[in-house]
Amino acid sequence: MKFVCIWLLLFPVFAIAQSSKPGTILWKITAPGSQGRVSYVIGTNHSYGGTFIDTFPQVAALLKTAECVVLESVRKPVQETKPSFTGKTPYSKLFSPADYRMMDSVLASYGMDKLEELDSVHFPPHLLCSYLTMNLVNEKDNRMKKEDESVDNYFLRYAQKEHLPLAGLDSGFTVREGILEYGLTEQQWADGMVKLFSAKRSGEEVMSNIDGSYATMDIDYMFKKPQPHAKGSDIYHLMVERNAHWMKSLPVMLKSKPCFVAVGVGHLMYKQGLLMELKKQGFKVEPVSIRQTANI
């Protein structure tokens, strides 16, 4: 199913066997020059909860050495923003009566609002699919977040608590309109959800591609390979073009003060990943071995 494959690209699972597997999600970055400031970069998985980081005391210790926390973006607190949704077609027109009832039952099983209530705020199908897919992922791998805040917000809250400067790499970058819809119509997203949950109800394994390799840090960074996504595609825009924008400011930050950088682990991969781009600019890039001290 196209929409499932697209969504899974946002949650790297990396089951491909290659040689560049350092067995870590944490990297030490030493700036070039006599001062050689040391910073750390951690690859996050947006589907994991913040308490996942608490199982790595070494990460928490290194975080305390930072004078600045750098994230993909720094958003305003939820209470300061008003959600604005873009759904155009009522779910009663996207689903048949039987499928409408089935999807309402699915939403109820996850403690979510009914379709009628989602329609009242124009909640679009691609976002609904993302929430439902997240729940399926959680069922497959209970190390992922449930009610827990995301890993990314964990670092945001830490910086706020410790009164550390926060920097967002997305500053000045305009994400392509409709990027998370991946070229699919509302009807295609709705049809995909019906197929997915009909299959699940019939006992099929619908999340077989999730292997939990992020939590075990069995990640292949594929540093010698170019980014595989076609130029002009949404994934290329989100990964390669965003990385290029981030590299306009990130080296300057790393040279100016010790930073702790938290970005999606996919942004660290391949020849165009941040780690290889920093290495090209003279930064020393080293994997940091970390161990979990508790189960999650």
pLDDT tens digits for range 124-170: 898 898 888 777 766 766 555 555 567 888 898 899 999 999 999 99
* Tokens linked to 47: 């589907």
d(CA 248, CA 267): 15
- Characterize the bridge pairing of strands 166-168 and 38-44: unpaired
Q: Which residue has the higher pLDDT, 34 or 279?
A: 279
Write down the pLDDT at residue 116: 94
pLDDT of res. 295: 55
**SS3 of residue 92 by DSSP:** helix
Instruction: Give the DSSP H or E segment for 64.
Output: none
Q: What is the pLDDT of residue 207?
A: 58
Q: For residue 51, what are its two tokens?
A: 């308490």
**Confidence category of residue 183, pLDDT binned at 50, 70, 90:** low
Instruction: Find the mean pLDDT for residues 47-73.
Output: 88
**pTM attached to this predicted model:** 0.74
DSSP 8-state symbol, 133: H
Residue 263: closest CA among 29, 61, 57, 84: 29
- Please state the domain extents for the chain: 2-288
- What would the two tokens of residue 164 be? 């550390």
Phi and psi at 150, nearest 5°, equal: -70, 160
- The 3-state DSSP class for residue 120 equals helix
Stretch 56-78: mean pLDDT: 85
pLDDT number for residue 4: 47
Instruction: Work out the pLDDT band at 267, boundaries 50, 70, 90.
Output: very high
- The residue that leads in pLDDT, 76 or 120, is 120
Q: Dump pLDDT digits (tens) for 111-128.
A: 889 999 999 988 889 889
The tokens describing 148, both together, are 């827990």
What are the tens digits of pLDDT across the range 210-256? Answer: 556 777 888 899 999 998 888 888 888 889 999 999 999 999 999 99
Q: How many CB atoms lie within 10 A of CB 95?
A: 21
Positive/negative CA dihedral, 275, 279, 282, 288: positive
Tokens 């873009």, located at residue: 86
Q: Which residue has the higher pLDDT, 282 or 75?
A: 282
Give percent of the chain above pLDDT 70: 79
CB burial string 223-240: b at 16+ within 10 A, e below: beeebebeeeebbbebbb
Q: Is the pLDDT of residue 185 over 80?
A: yes
Residue 292 and residue 286: Cα distance in Å, rounded? 19
Query: What was the pLDDT predicted at 15?
Result: 33
Q: Give the pLDDT of residue 19.
A: 41
| Beta strands in 101-174, from DSSP E residues, in sequence order | 166-168
Beta-sheet pairing, 38-44 with 68-71: unpaired
Tokens representing 248 are 């306009």
